[in-house]
Structure 1
């Protein structure tokens, strides 16, 4: 099978077809989790997988699994997948490329009548983005046991709409217990979402580490009052306190190697031009690939908030509602071997964003394949890559999965021989 390759043109056409569900005027995608558009995208994925002979299952969190039989179906499957939901102003490739690279692997195996040593599984994870419902990587987090199923199903969006009801409405509230799949290895293909591969002129990123993430909701309670009649010294302005903390987030991140800090969401009450803001809620996102460094960043952030609260005599509540520890991908060598066998230039890299593969690494040997994206831009409607870069990533995924399948079968045979001797 040394000459086996995916069909790059078909992969690109599939990406463009999937992009029609939520296509924006600027050429991006708005396909939020568990919306009707998400349901339509899921339906297309299921249709494509069934056309290649897969059986499809949906678990209680809405995660989809398409299974292709192998020579020995008692062996654990080699799996791949990502997500179909996007940011409100997202691109056509984030997550979707990983799902459709898997579909292209499936089609390549199917049309060449290749029976793999183990079963293969192709997945779509629910609400990876964490945009409509929080936190991010919600479906895979439930699958591996990081999150409680019922708690997450009862999460609501900003309009008070419950995730469970939305999954049921689009037909993807399944009955399979999360975590019950028989999987032996997991791989995810993804655009880098950063500029390093493009800058270094490399085709493939072999992801070794997943970055640690801490998410907070910060609520500042001041006192709304008339902007024209309240003197400055008598104000209890939630906006000013917020601005001090937001400014500190940038300075805090810059004090640490590989530190990142972002405030991307804010609600202002009463949000009127001539009223001093009385209550402000905003998000804080801190990241670092080193767990100890991230812990120090957390301490500095909370201490600064306490300082502002005391100095300005204003109430500040911090909800540290999500922590994702840095992760090591222990199947990275499979990705590297595949890239080398195919002759693609490659480099080791770490994942700056959270991915479903980060949670799957809790359960099974896991690896990630990165491909370049134009100017490193992602979570943006102008997010872009090339057909050739997508084709290369899918080829690496194909060979990585074939090698992992052969290895699992070989290890199983060796263990059986040892047990019978």
Structure 2
């Protein structure tokens, strides 16, 4: 049954009382998933149980049921036009693909361990390749191992529109961080293939290698290499963080995913879209299924080395130069500064010398990470923590060296592409809001070179990078309903 399917009486004019709408709401959550025209609104099933299939005038339908989404009461002419400009996507197939992918590298606690270029990642890549070939795509692999599944467009000279994310995970990962974006893109290609349609420009789905950076540092290294932001040779030479005798390049060769395509070809994308779970609680808390990410916020990574004087733990407290006590003050200062400025700051790693029960630590290295949604926020936070460090170093009699270890710039996304997501979300009657992206994704690297857009869907409790990471089928379908039409529009529409 089709939600919003219309029945017009013979000889009736638009606006007549006899101009009728057949209100065929889906009868269950399963029906909503099978019917791509159905709103992803969680309340739709309640309407279905009370309404059944009724033929009533459009005006009467709106008066009797003002709570109905307007998309359920469209005229036949408007509906026909929409059908010419769209294809049916399958939220059910999309969900099944996510579940099948999650079985690769599955852990007993419900999570996923699928490190980049591991045996599990190799299996996931092979499955994606096979799915792409079955959907009529060509498949290329570049020298950094990234995969490109391309569904040809009607204009062979047009630059492709890309949709991408990653299949690798952190060691204790969840089921949806990364695969959601890759398999959403795959569903767009499958829907085109199933409908026997093409867009004017090609559409390419990208699986970027090593987004997480758990096995090889830095994170997002393949997308950074493709965009010319990280030297390709440096990416290939990166050692395995768990077995330094193996490099990124070695792992590519061992797994058979060392391709010969030039990664720089990705710089020729006409546009790039990425869908991702939010990895935060805002969308779920506000009951909004779609987040339009206006920009990725800048990130600063710092290494601080506190040098004091070691000694016996039984020595008097007076006169100590305890490097760990000083570093602990910094950890709390970062938290205080972040809360005061509206930013985010974390001490992520501490190493001690000597690392012994009987010794006062004389050297402590601290890895710190700061980020702020405002353009000048990182500079303000950095100035504040430097001031705190100078004060506590003088007070405690320790020396502190501060070195910038890396980071990412603030990257705004393409307004035109963001507008396409807003229009598609609005057409699907999906609530949406603009928001910054506090966690870097591959879209950050791509967005420096290629017009790009990033979109979030909620995740339960904002939890990610954890086996309990989860999303609902409704959120999954909502993201497809918003991004699918936007990508087709960016690719020039249906040919």
Under a length normalisation based on structure 2, what TM-score does the superposition of the two structures give? 0.77
**Cα distance between partner residues in 1 of 2:209 and 2:101:** 16
Deviation string, structure 1 residues 104-123 (Cα, Å, up to 9, x no partner): 11211111111111111000
Deviation string, structure 1 residues 360-405 (Cα, Å, up to 9, x no partner): 1122221122111112222222111111211221222210111001
Q: How does 1:7-156 map to 2 (within 5 A)?
A: 7-156=90-239
**Cα distance between partner residues in 2 of 1:383 and 1:355:** 17
**Cα distance between partner residues in 2 of 1:324 and 1:31:** 25
Give the superposition deviation at 1:77: 0.4
Tell me which moved more, 325-334 or 30-39: 30-39
Tell me which moved more, 311-320 or 398-407: 311-320
Deviation string, structure 1 residues 75-94 (Cα, Å, up to 9, x no partner): 11010010112222221111
1:176 to 242, 250, 261: 261
**Cα distance between partner residues in 1 of 2:98 and 2:353:** 41
Give the superposition deviation at 1:270: 4.7
Tell me which moved more, 71-80 or 136-145: 136-145
Alignment CA distance shift 1:406-1:382 (3 Å): same
Give the superposition deviation at 1:223: 4.9
Cross-structure match for 1:197? 283
Q: How does 1:204-283 map to 2 (within 5 A)?
A: 204-228=290-314, 230-233=315-318, 235-257=320-342, 259-283=343-367
Cross-structure match for 2:385? 301
Deviation string, structure 1 residues 331-382 (Cα, Å, up to 9, x no partner): 2001111111222221222212111112211222211221111122222221
Larger Cα-atom Rg: 2
| Uncovered stretches (5+) of structure 2, i.e. residues with no partner | 1-81
Cross-structure match for 1:417? none
Alignment CA distance shift 1:217-1:26 (3 Å): farther
Deviation string, structure 1 residues 231-258 (Cα, Å, up to 9, x no partner): 434644332122111111101101213x
Give the superposition deviation at 1:171: 2.3
Contact 2:299–2:408 (CA under 8 A) maintained in structure 1: yes
| Uncovered stretches (5+) of structure 1, i.e. residues with no partner | 410-421
**Cα distance between partner residues in 1 of 2:310 and 2:258:** 43
Give the superposition deviation at 1:33: 2.3
Give the superposition deviation at 1:200: 1.8
**Cα distance between partner residues in 1 of 2:229 and 2:391:** 33
Q: Secondary structure at the match of 2:348?
A: coil
1:324 to 401, 408, 421: 408
Cross-structure match for 2:429? 343
**Cα distance between partner residues in 1 of 2:401 and 2:125:** 38
**Cα distance between partner residues in 1 of 2:117 and 2:305:** 28
Q: Secondary structure at the match of 1:281?
A: strand
**Cα distance between partner residues in 2 of 1:109 and 1:224:** 67
Deviation string, structure 1 residues 275-317 (Cα, Å, up to 9, x no partner): 3334433321111122211112122223433444444343433
**Cα distance between partner residues in 1 of 2:471 and 2:164:** 19
**Cα distance between partner residues in 2 of 1:82 and 1:22:** 18
Tell me which moved more, 77-86 or 4-13: 4-13
**Cα distance between partner residues in 2 of 1:301 and 1:166:** 40
Matched, 1:333 2:416: no
Tell me which moved more, 318-327 or 247-256: 318-327
Contact 1:78–1:401 (CA under 8 A) maintained in structure 2: yes
Give the superposition deviation at 1:99: 0.9
1:356 to 442, 448, 453: 442
Contact 1:135–1:322 (CA under 8 A) maintained in structure 2: no
Alignment CA distance shift 1:284-1:113 (3 Å): same
Alignment CA distance shift 1:125-1:224 (3 Å): farther
Q: Secondary structure at the match of 2:170?
A: coil
Give the superposition deviation at 1:186: 0.5
**Cα distance between partner residues in 1 of 2:480 and 2:138:** 22
Alignment CA distance shift 1:226-1:20 (3 Å): farther
**Aligned-residue CA RMSD (Å):** 2.3
**Cα distance between partner residues in 1 of 2:450 and 2:378:** 25
